[in-house]
Amino acid sequence: MARVDLGYFRQRLDRLREELEAVAEESESATSTVELDQARVGRLSRMDAMQAQSMAQETARRRQRQLARIEGALRRLESGDYGECLNCGEAIDPARLEFDPTTTRCIACMESGEAS
């Protein structure tokens, strides 16, 4: 199996983290409380505004989960465990890491349902 370029993945994870944090800052106002003032909402109904708020909140939750996965991957890089399956200890295929640099399981463990 090919050797994993840890420097490349560190840069990639850092870049992903920076992008997600920038998006979080830009979209922070979308999760704020829905205003009842019809002048501020414009033509959108209160239900439309509430739905948009709910979608923005779920997007923010997903972004936080992804940031947690990135932080975990960076910790594994620091500890020397990056690229190893957390279930079986085997090396994770570099192509799988390229697709998702935060992955913690090899394809065999994912397919066998051993992932927790």
DSSP 3-state of 67: helix
Residue 2 has pLDDT above 80, yes or no: no
Domain CATH number, residue 15: 1.20.120.910
State the pLDDT at residue 116. 46
Residue 23 lies in a domain: yes
Q: 81 in a domain, yes or no?
A: yes
A 10 A CB-CB count for 20 gives: 16
Residue 79 lies in a domain: yes
List C-alpha distances in Å: 27 to 21, 24, 31, 36.
10, 5, 8, 20
The structural domain count of the chain equals 1
Report the predicted TM-score, pTM, of the whole model to 2 decimal places. Answer: 0.74
In a domain, 65, yes or no: yes
Does 1 fall in a domain? no
pLDDT digits 0-9 by tens, 13-70: 999 999 999 988 887 766 555 555 555 555 557 777 778 888 888 998 999 999 999 9
Which domain does 20 fall in, by range?
A: 6-112
Residue 49 counted as domain residue: yes
In a domain, 69, yes or no: yes
Residue 58's contacts (CB-CB under 8 Å, 6 or more residues apart) are none
Q: How far apart are CA 102 and CA 112, in angstroms?
A: 19
